[in-house]
Structure formats: C-alpha cells, structure tokens
Amino acid sequence: MNKEQLHQIRADFPILTEKIYNKDLIYFDNGATSQKPRCVVEKIEQGYYRYNANIHRGVHYLSQKATEEHEAARTTVAEFLHAGKREEIIFTRGTTEAINLVAFSFGEAFCKAGDEIVISVLEHHSNIVPWQMLCERKDLKLQVIPMNENGELDLEVYKSLLNDRTRIVSVAHLSNVLGTVNPVKEMIRLAHEKDIPVLIDGAQAVPHIPVDVEDLDVDFYVFSAHKIYGPTGIGVLYGKDIWLNKMPPYQGGGEMIQTVTFEKTTYNVLPFKFEAGTPDYIGSTGLAEALRYVQNIGLENIAAHEHELLSYGTERLLEIEGMRIIGTANEKSSVISFLVGKIHPYDIGMLLDKLGIAVRTGHHCAQPLMDSLKIPGTVRASFAFYNTKEEIDLFVTALKRVVAMLS
C-alpha cells in the first residue's frame, strides 16, 4: 500500500483520530479486537432504522427485508471462505461459542470413554476449556502438541499423537500470542489420512491472510466478526454438512425446530438446526459489510502491508537493550510479543497507555502457553492494515522512554 491508499483507509476509521490523554491514539491491540470502518457502523444503523423486524417468521415487508439481508450475509460469508454450500455457514455469538458448539455436539455424537482429543500448546483458552469440559463429561483424554523454541508446532510429535482413539483435532490457524502461522493444510492432510476430522480456530487468521476452506479441506472453521472489522457478538462456524447433519443441536428453542409436540420435537434443516432463538440479524449484515470492505482492499494487499509492519517493527524493537522477542517462527503474521529485561509487562503497558499507545499485556488467554515458556506474560503489539511505520517509530521512541523510566 502506498501512503495515499493508507491515508484513505485510515480516514474510514474515525477512532484513529481520537486523542488519548491528549496524545494521538496508536492502536496496537488489534489481536484483541479491531476498529470499525464507517461503512460497517452505517450498515448496522441502517438495519435498525430502516428494516428492523424479527426474521424468518413474518409475512410483512420489514420481516421479509430483514430476512433477505440476513441470508444475503450468510451467502457473503460462504463466498468469503470459499465454502461450497451456504447451508454450511452457522452464525454464532463468536469463535468461543462456535468451538463450544462443536465440542458439545460432536462430542455427544462421536465420542466415548477412552477416546482422545488433540489440541496444541499454542491455543487460546477458548480452544482448550470446551475440550476439557468434554473430556470430563465423557471420560476422554486431552493430548497436546508441543512446540519448538521458535514457537512452531512439532509435527513429528503431532503425527505420533494421531491414532485410532483420536476423535478430533482442534488447533489455531494463527497464534494470538506468538503470531505463528501453523501449517494447518498439512496438519489436516495428516489427520485425514487416519479419517480424523479437524477444527481450525481462525479468529486471528481471517483478518490477515486469505482462507479457502475447500482448499484446506477443513471439517470445521471458526472465527469472530469483531476481529475482522465487524461488530461484536457475532461469529461464524463453517462445518462440512456431512458432519453437521450427524450432530445433535447445541441449544433448543425457536427456529431450530420443524415440529414440536409434548411427546417429541423434530429438528430443522441446516443451518437453522444450530441457530436457536432470534439471531443477530443486524450483526450479520455488519459482518458481511466488513468482509466486503476487506475484499475491496484485498487480503493479499493486507497481508503484504502487515508483513512489512511485522518486519519493520521487529527490527526497530531489537534496538532496545534487553529486548526479548517471544515467538520467532519462520511463518509469522501481525503479532509481536516481547519482554524487556526484568520489567513487568503490566508496567510497560500502563505507561505506554499514558502516551496514547494501546498494547495488550498479560497472558493473552493462553496461560498454558505462558507456563510452557516459563514467563508470567508478555507485552503484545498486534497490527492491522490501518497501522503505519510512522506509528511504529513513535511506539519504539515511547517504549525506549518507558524502559528508561522503569530500569
């Protein structure tokens, strides 16, 4: 991206002109949530102001219009992910609910005592705890893929963990802590050689790199709208219909039924079987608008720009005495986690905030990963396509000042 394109993009995000403690905002916490372009907020506003009505049930115009917009959003998501069938797109409250849905429903249908679930040491708590709960409920064993010193998964150990007791593999596409881009296509291929399905947590990947679920041949793929410039409270589960059709509903209520009597309930077809109750039919249109916005810029362009930011940011940070970059994988995207000497990450984050710079500090919802690294947490700078090298320069200057104060 050239400076003019970047200027135009930044103009779409009003929050980037905000002052924090009288300082220009530098937002480097995109791994936690992204900022929203005007078009997304305007789409949400339009929905509430012009055609707000409950969907799928009304014969009146507003209900029909809201239904059309919601289902068009489902089609947009399917096309964005290159899914073969729009019915394979399930709307959820976010990545966390999508993983819980699969853990519960897949577990009910396919898991029995003594079976095993494979995850990795890199996982967010959202891709650990639901599987632990399933293991406790069904007496299963949780197996964990370790990593090397660079933060890359050990594929030889992974291969050894796959056996006739393995029921599912669930791993992150991109680590929210280290930025490691996992070789998920190869991992899926290896699992499929033993007829083991795979879930990929794409929460961190979808905003930064192109995703093609059919090319990956992935069984389940999940992500959240708020990480890709869309609204909070809505996410996506892509699932192959051969699995979803065999899985029981996750929740009961309206919309997910075909018939209800006091003796028996029959369930709706996909995708509605997994969408009990009134869905976030406004949020879905906001998500679709965000995806269109990203597609107009081009994920290839986004990935190239963010790779420049990652390389430049890493180079600049290494100027600081005592700097330790946590996670140095060959395939990496958009995230730099670091420590400086013996300074606590929280102290760095607090002082940077006073200078108008938003970073994340702590364990980043990945306590087992921190335990494996034998550290309490890190400072994390995570980039988006609206960030600039000039912001990185200001960040490094501020960080040097903070380190000098705390040393």
Render pLDDT for 219-258 as a digit per residue (tens, 0 to 9): 999 999 999 999 999 999 999 999 999 999 999 999 999 9
pLDDT at residue 197 is higher than 90: yes
- pLDDT category at 57 given cuts 50, 70, 90 is confident
For residue 211, tell me if it sits in a domain: yes
Active site annotation includes 135: no
Do 380 and 272 belong to one domain?
no
The one-letter amino acid at 212:
D
Strands 116-120 and 166-172: parallel
For residue 36, tell me if it sits in a domain: no
Do 204 and 307 belong to one domain?
no
Do 75 and 162 belong to one domain?
yes
Per the structure, the complete domain to which residue 181 belongs is given by 41-295
H or E segment to which residue 138 belongs: helix 129-138
In whole angstroms, what is the distance from residue 301 CA to residue 279 CA? 33
pTM beyond 0.75: the answer is yes
Do 230 and 128 belong to one domain?
yes
Instruction: Write out the DSSP string of 6-33.
Output: HHHHHHT-GGGG-EETTEE-EE-BTTT-
Q: CATH number of the domain that 7 lies in?
A: 3.90.1150.10
What was the pLDDT predicted at 65?
Answer: 98
Torsion angles phi and psi, residue 316, rounded to 5 = -70, -40
Do 186 and 322 belong to one domain?
no
Structure tokens at 106: 């897949």
Last residue of one domain, picked from the residues 260, 295, 330: 295
For residue 57, tell me if it sits in a domain: yes
pLDDT at residue 376 is higher than 90: yes
Do 236 and 323 belong to one domain?
no
Structure tokens at 353: 């905030």
Do 176 and 302 belong to one domain?
no
Structure tokens at 323: 């700097």
What was the pLDDT predicted at 386?
Answer: 99
What was the pLDDT predicted at 321?
Answer: 96
What was the pLDDT predicted at 313?
Answer: 99
Do 268 and 338 belong to one domain?
no
Total number of domains in the chain: 2
For residue 132, tell me if it sits in a domain: yes
pLDDT at residue 261 is higher than 90: yes
Do 303 and 280 belong to one domain?
no
Q: CATH number of the domain that 230 lies in?
A: 3.40.640.10
For residue 143, tell me if it sits in a domain: yes
Do 15 and 73 belong to one domain?
no
Last residue of one domain, picked from the residues 241, 263, 295: 295
For residue 34, tell me if it sits in a domain: no
Choose among 265, 221, 243, 247: nearest CA to 92: 221
Choose among 233, 188, 181, 183: nearest CA to 204: 181
What was the pLDDT predicted at 1?
Answer: 85
Percentage, residues of the chain above pLDDT 70: 100
In tens, the pLDDT along 331-367 reads 999 999 999 999 999 999 999 999 999 999 999 999 9
| Exposure of 383 in the CB half-sphere (CA atoms within 13 A) | 30
CA 164 from chain centre, in angstroms, equals 30
Last residue of one domain, picked from the residues 295, 315, 337: 295
Do 158 and 60 belong to one domain?
yes
For residue 174, tell me if it sits in a domain: yes
Q: Which of 39, 111, 135, 365 is labelled catalytic?
A: 365
H or E segment to which residue 324 belongs: strand 323-326
Do 269 and 331 belong to one domain?
no
For residue 368, tell me if it sits in a domain: yes
Handedness of CA 210, 203, 37, 359 (dihedral sign): negative
